[in-house]
Structures are given as structure tokens and as C-alpha cells.
Amino acid sequence: MVGAAGVRVRGRLMKSVRAAIDDYLQRQPHPLPFQVCIAPEAAKAGLAKLAAGAVGRPRVFPFEEASIAAAGESPAILVVVPQDLVAGPMASRLLEYAQASRPARPVLLGGARNRDVLVDAINTWRIFRVVPEQAAEVLRDAVHQAWQALCVELALKSAAGELLDDTTRLEQALAALRATQQKLLQLERLNTLGRAASSVLPVIALHLNALEEFNVIASAGMHRHDPELQGMLTSALEGMQALRTMLEDLLTYAGSGPAHTRPALVELDKTVASALSFARFDPLANGRAVRAELKTEARVLFDSHRLRQVVLNLLRTAYQSAPSSGPGVTVRTSAQGGDAILEVQCAGAVIPEDARVQIFDPFFTLTGDEGLGLNPCRLIVERYGGTIECVNVTGRGTCFRVRLPRSDMAT
């Protein structure tokens, strides 16, 4: 069933079509020249004179090559008799002209009592109207009505074209409005993140200061030094520092704070290894094999905490993409010219093309969960002069590749 809203929309559409047709006919009451072509057998029957007497005084010409060429591309109302429909060279050529002159339709005089003639006239010739022989004078009105029908049909096509153009423009405007709405929603979410980060950051700083003081005290008591405890404390400090760095980036991302860079010479392999060690606490890492191939020994100018965060985010995305069982995830570093390369590869996982091209867009995630996605990773990498990409490697799965300029080439 069509709802009331659908009926109203359909009613408005029909009114728009009728209004467009009326406007078209008022602006161009005769969009095409009124032309009538008389078929050979119809000419022998003397129908040219009858057709010429139609309302509107049409231009009447015989079915001849020169006359057809002179008529140009404008369709003419074709007048035929049953003898013109008989198969043969002339009928074939006449049928070609009838088809080429559409949307104009032929008018047939006679043949109303012959079933075969009527079937052929309707199915093959697309006759507009059949006029009985005994009512030959009606031919004048039939020709005029055929021309009027032609004008209306062309008006319909013109109106439909205009409506289609208007619909296309409206769809484009609607798409632009939706995109603007999405951007506004993203801005609102960023503002909310900024406010939340602003309130949490001082608390994190207090806890970090307390941990740093505890670390100083614990380090001073060398006789009670416990390597395992010291390692756990160091990891906790690094985690708190990474959290503060992440909150600073959230403030920057939301436009609520300045961009903090703090670049320093960082050993890529060591930083990645530290991130891998920390990532084992991620619940998604359970049951997933992670293989490390760290052999670049390159140093890059970066913020170590932000580099760790990039690695952790890529690992989490890899965990989400990789199958729960199988080859798992491979993290490798390498050197290529003056660049250091970091790759996080999910074996056996292929990210669909439509998702792959959006994977670094704000708020886009593979799972549909709320989050910033990998957009902050791209911003961080580009801030330090690097690039990041996501590629599907045939037979090897999906690979996240980070390219960073090396800072140790002169040493």
C-alpha cells in the first residue's frame, strides 16, 4: 500500500509534470514544423490534398529522397494506406523512415476491417490512428491530432529532462547538506573530546608526578632494588606518559590546545620493541601470534611516546582485522634509502577497498565502535615528516606501512 505521504508526493509530481508541459507549450506552441509525408500508395489515392487541408496548414511532401532530405531532422506525420504496408523494397524503406521519424506516428487510411493489416499496423508500424476509408474527410483531423500528440510527447520529454536535472541538483544539494551535517557532528564530538581531555589531563599529571617521585625513591634504595619491580615501574611510567601525550594530542585534535612535538632522536627498533611488550596486555592480543622482525637499527627524529602510540594503534587495528587463528601479525622494520620503514602486517586479512580508502578518515573504524580510528596516527606521522598508507598485498594480507626520514645517515 502507498502511504499518505507517498500519495502527496506523487500528486505533487504529477502537478509538476503538467505545469512543465503547459509552460513548454505556452512558450513553444509549435516546437516543430508541422510536416506531413505522403507514402507512395497514399499519394496515388490522392491523400495529399486531404492532408494539406488539416488545421494548421501543414507542409505536405511526397515520400521521395529529395523531399525527405529537405524536411531535415524534424519528424513528419506519415500518411499511409494498407498497400504501403505490403512487404517489399519500398515498404522496407518506408518503415525505416517511420521509425526514424519517431516520436511522430503514422496515420493509416483504410484497413480497419482487415485483422492482419491492423495487427501489422499496430505492432510493426506503431500507427497513431486508423481512419476508415468511408470517413476519408476525418483524415484532416487525424493528421492534426497526430501532430498535437507529437508536440505533447516532445513536451513531456522536455519536462522529464528538466525534472531530472532538478532532481539531480537536489540530490547533490542534499548530499552536500549531509556532508556538512556530518562535519558538524564531528566538530561537536571533537569539542566534547577536548573538554573531557582538559578535565582529565591535570589528574593524569598529578599521578605521573607521584610515580616519578616514587621511582626516584625506589632507585635510591639500591639494596632493595628489584629488577622485575623496576621494569614494571618503568612500564607504568611510560604508560602514564603515553596517556598524557595522548590527551595532549586530543586537545590539539579538538583545537583546544597547541601542538606538542618534543622531537628527539629515537631508536626505531627499540621503541617498536617497547610498544610490542606493552601491547601484550591488550585483550585482543590473546591467542594471536605476533612476530617481530626488527633489523633496521635506524634512528628517527620523533617523540618516542607518540611513536609508541602509533605502533599500538596499528597493532590494535591489526588484531581487529586478523583472524583469531593463523599466521597472526608481523611487525617489521627496514631501511630504504634515506627512510626508515615500519610495517604492521595482518596475514590472511584483506580490508575491503571501500574501507581501505577511508581507514585514515576521522572516526572511521573497522568495527564500527566509537573512536577516532587511525586518523590521529596519520596526523602524528605527517607532523614529523613521514607518510602512512594501508595496502592489500596479494597472498600476504593487509599491510600498514609507515615511512619516516632517517636522522642517522651522517653518523
pLDDT at 302 over 50: yes
- Mean pLDDT (whole number) for 198-211: 57
Q: How far is CA 141 from CA 60, 110, 131, 144, in A?
A: 15, 15, 10, 5
Q: Give the chain's mean pLDDT.
A: 78
Confidence of residue 332 (pLDDT cuts 50, 70, 90): very high
| 389 lies in the same domain as 279 | yes
Higher pLDDT, 73 or 388: 388
User: What residues are paired with 404 via a beta bridge?
Assistant: 340
Range of the domain at 211: 186-253
Would you state the pLDDT for residue 386? Answer: 93
Say which CATH number the domain at 343 has: 3.30.565.10
| Number of domains comprising the chain | 3
Does residue 135 surpass a pLDDT of 50? yes
pLDDT per position as a tens digit, 174-191: 888 888 887 777 677 666
Whether 2 is covered by a domain: the verdict is no
Same domain, 246 and 275: no
Greater model confidence, 295 or 410: 295
> Average pLDDT of 24-52?
79
CB 322 within 8 A of CB 348: yes
164 and 20 within one domain: yes
Distance CA 377, CA 375 (A): 5
Residues 195, 315, single domain; the answer is no
pTM: 0.47
* Domain-located, residue 411: no
Domain boundary among 253, 272, 299: 253
pLDDT 10s digits, 223-266: 455 666 666 666 666 666 666 666 666 555 555 555 566 788 98
What is the average per-residue pLDDT within 390-394? 82
What CATH number is given to the structural domain containing 59? 3.40.50.2300
Among candidate residues 253, 288, 309, the one where a domain is terminated: 253
Residue 177, in any domain of the structure: no
Mean pLDDT of 327-345: 89
